[in-house]
């Protein structure tokens, strides 16, 4: 379970950093880097929630799942544009958040071995 949780965590961190850098750099030729900074805020939020999920997988996984549902709606169904690639990329966020949540829950509720000192 811990390895599955770690893989999901690393995938989320990689996705967040990759899209953060892309959002920070794209559009800088027209607006400049600091005026383009608001485009990175959703991805900074994902990176923060990913860090939180590393410390506390149950609450962090739940927050990533809910945040991911919001990201899927905002980037895919909120405007006139719909791209399958964006849908798949944003759909990974709630899926990986659910995996972290499930793994954290199963690790916390694992049966402890009986005490043999009796």
Q: In the predicted model, is pLDDT for residue 107 greater than 80?
A: yes
Mean pLDDT computed over 61-88: 89
- The structural domain count of the chain equals 1
Residue 47 in any domain: the answer is yes
98 within a domain of the structure (yes/no): yes
Residue tagged 């899926």 (tokens): 95
Answer positive or negative: Cα dihedral of 82, 91, 40, 27.
Answer: negative
CB 39 within 8 A of CB 24: yes
Spatial neighbors of 82 by CB under 8 A, at least 6 apart, are: 76
pLDDT at position 108 over 60: yes
pLDDT, position 118 = 56
pTM equals 0.83
Residue-level pLDDT at 116: 63
Q: pLDDT tens digits, residue range 28-57?
A: 777 777 777 888 899 999 999 999 999 999
Residue 63 counted as domain residue: yes
> At residue 19, does pLDDT exceed 80?
yes
Whether pLDDT at 111 is above 90: no
Residue 87 domain boundaries: 2-108
* Residue 118 maps to a domain: no
């Amino acid at each position: 379970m811990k390895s599955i949780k770690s893989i999901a965590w690393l995938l989320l961190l990689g996705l967040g950093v990759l899209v953060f850098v892309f959002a920070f750099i794209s559009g800088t030729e027209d607006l400049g880097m600091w005026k383009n900074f608001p485009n990175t805020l959703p991805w900074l939020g994902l990176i923060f929630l990913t860090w939180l999920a590393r410390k506390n997988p149950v609450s962090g996984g739940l927050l990533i799942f809910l945040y991911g549902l919001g990201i899927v709606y905002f980037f895919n169904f909120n405007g006139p544009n719909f791209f399958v690639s964006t849908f798949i990329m944003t759909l990974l966020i709630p899926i990986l958040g659910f995996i972290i949540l499930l793994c954290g829950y199963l690790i916390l509720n694992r049966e402890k071995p009986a005490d043999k000192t009796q």
